[in-house]
């Protein structure tokens, strides 16, 4: 390859090629994980690609005319200078394309912490499940830095919770986190007995330093390759991701630790996933006849059962909002595709394949801190507790209701209660999730399984 060809390739062809391949990889991966459809993202990507392609075409034609039939050494200094400038322009546009694709389509925007309304979380008590690692630990750190009076790290292992708390305090860049701000609570979502003990412990401190829970973040979740049943007789993934959180929420309500009220409604965030759509497309919705894949009606699979549990999170979020309308805020939150250790229980090929491709996968996934931004947004975003999430169906683009005549109707005070947040923004979910009958059925079934029906 001669000097001219090398100049063309590295100066002109390589940067846009990398940018285009990056967008194709992102589109394929995110469509595969049901983050959004290809048609949703094509318009925003098309104008970037058009801008880049147009600049590349002009530069290419100019350079071809200049260097055709000659070597670089035969061209004038002015021509070489123009080539360098044109190449720099292509590099800048390509870099912009890459950054814009990552910021808008993968991360979903900039850090919301700087836009959080003043004092919206200050003085509040927050409980985060699964807070010893990953998104949960980072969420705890960010909310503590925003001024939460106390952040309770609910963890299955007290030791790992203690280690996480010490790490959070140790890694503070500024001395803003007080010793009293963080507390570890032993709470194994795979054990109904452990959950009840955890709530009883909090109840015992209600007259001391934990009068109530202002924000409950149901963050913990697992992905299990093997079909494993808990001692409570439930499939592990369904219990840890859904039923354990259902019991925790109901017990906090029963013990008056979550206090529904119109003036200052408590907030419950249910971390879900866009993969819930797999459950809808493959099974038509929540399979409540074989919830644990132990009756022979549905074959167990990692993604299939995970999708069922995440669909359950959304149904639970919407039903909780309906039952405590005006008095409690309930939101489903999807943090996006985040680089965590969730693959530890995946099949051999997926686990080691993920490790081998780590350097590439990181470029297509959010960091843990960026994933936690979604929980922070859910904890601080303005919500109209009396406006139900079915209103999203009228305005699927924004998810927020706009009155037909602003002179006759009152403007909404915030996003609808029961909304689904993806990357910190309201997104309309599949129409199945708005079926109140199925949400009520799951609520009643969960009540029976966790033993609340008898209490």
Choice among 30, 276, 306, 434 that is catalytic: 306
d(CA 134, CA 275) in angstroms, rounded, equals: 19
266, 215 in Cβ contact below 8 A? yes
Alpha helices by DSSP H, listed for 343-393, are 348-356, 358-361, 368-380
The contacts of residue 212 (CB under 8 Å, 6+ apart) are 125, 206, 256, 257, 258, 259, 266
What is the chain's alpha carbon radius of gyration, rounded to the nearest angstrom? 25
In angstroms, what CA-CA distances link 353 with 50, 159, 223, 343, 359?
34, 31, 17, 10, 11
Known active-site residue 306: yes
d(CA 271, CA 251) in angstroms, rounded, equals: 19
Q: Which of 315, 304, 329, 340 is CA-nearest to residue 221?
A: 340
- The beta strand positions in 73-192, using DSSP E, are 125-129, 150-155, 182-186
d(CA 225, CA 109) in angstroms, rounded, equals: 33
Provide the token pair at 304. 């299939």
The β-bridge relationship of strands 125-129 and 215-218 is parallel
d(CA 95, CA 89) in angstroms, rounded, equals: 10
In angstroms, what CA-CA distances link 167 with 145, 177, 221?
14, 12, 21
Q: Which of 225, 393, 415 is CA-nearest to residue 304?
A: 225
366, 106 in Cβ contact below 8 A? yes
107, 423 in Cβ contact below 8 A? yes
Question: What is the set of active-site residues?
Answer: 306
């Amino acid at each position: 390859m001669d000097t001219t060809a090398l100049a063309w390739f590295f100066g002109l062809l390589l940067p846009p090629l990398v940018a285009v391949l990056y967008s194709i990889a992102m589109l394929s991966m995110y469509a595969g994980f049901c983050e959004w459809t290809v048609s949703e993202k094509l318009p925003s990507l098309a104008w970037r690609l058009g801008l880049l392609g147009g600049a590349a075409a002009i530069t290419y034609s100019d350079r071809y005319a200049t260097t055709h039939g000659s070597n670089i050494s035969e061209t004038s200094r002015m021509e070489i200078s123009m080539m360098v400038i044109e190449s720099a322009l292509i590099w800048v546009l390509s870099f912009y394309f890459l950054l814009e694709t990552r910021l808008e389509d993968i991360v979903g925007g900039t850090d919301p912490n700087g836009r959080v309304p003043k004092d919206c979380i200050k003085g509040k008590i927050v409980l985060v499940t699964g807070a010893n690692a990953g998104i949960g630990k980072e969420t705890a750190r960010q909310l503590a830095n925003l001024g939460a009076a106390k952040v309770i790290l609910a963890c299955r292992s007290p030791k790992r919770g203690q280690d996480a708390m010490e790490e959070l305090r140790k890694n503070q860049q500024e001395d803003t986190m007080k010793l009293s701000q963080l507390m570890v609570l032993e709470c194994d979502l795979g054990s109904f007995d452990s959950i009840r003990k955890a709530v009883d412990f909090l109840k015992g401190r209600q007259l001391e330093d934990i009068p109530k829970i202002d924000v409950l973040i149901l963050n913990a979740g697992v992905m299990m390759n093997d079909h494993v049943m808990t001692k409570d007789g439930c499939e592990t993934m369904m219990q840890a991701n859904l039923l354990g959180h259902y019991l925790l929420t109901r017990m906090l309500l029963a013990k008056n630790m979550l206090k529904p009220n119109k003036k200052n409604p408590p907030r419950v965030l249910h971390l879900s996933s866009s993969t819930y759509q797999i459950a809808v497309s493959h099974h038509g919705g929540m399979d409540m006849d074989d919830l644990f894949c132990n009756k022979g009606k549905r074959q167990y699979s990692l993604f299939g059962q995970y999708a069922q549990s995440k669909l359950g999170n959304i149904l639970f979020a919407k039903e909780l909002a309906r039952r405590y309308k005006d008095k409690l805020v309930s939101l489903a939150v999807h943090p996006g595709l985040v680089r965590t250790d969730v693959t530890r229980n995946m099949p051999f090929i997926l686990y080691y394949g993920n490790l081998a491709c780590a350097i590439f996968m990181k470029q297509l996934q959010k960091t843990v801190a960026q994933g936690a931004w979604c929980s922070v947004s859910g904890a601080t975003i303005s919500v109209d507790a009396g406006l139900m999430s079915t209103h999203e169906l009228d305005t699927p683009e924004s998810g927020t209701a706009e009155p037909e005549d602003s002179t006759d109707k009152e403007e909404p005070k915030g996003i609808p209660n029961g909304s689904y947040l993806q990357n910190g923004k309201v997104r309309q979910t599949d129409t199945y999730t708005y079926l109140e009958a199925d949400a009520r059925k799951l609520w009643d079934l969960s009540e029976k399984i966790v033993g609340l029906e008898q209490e």
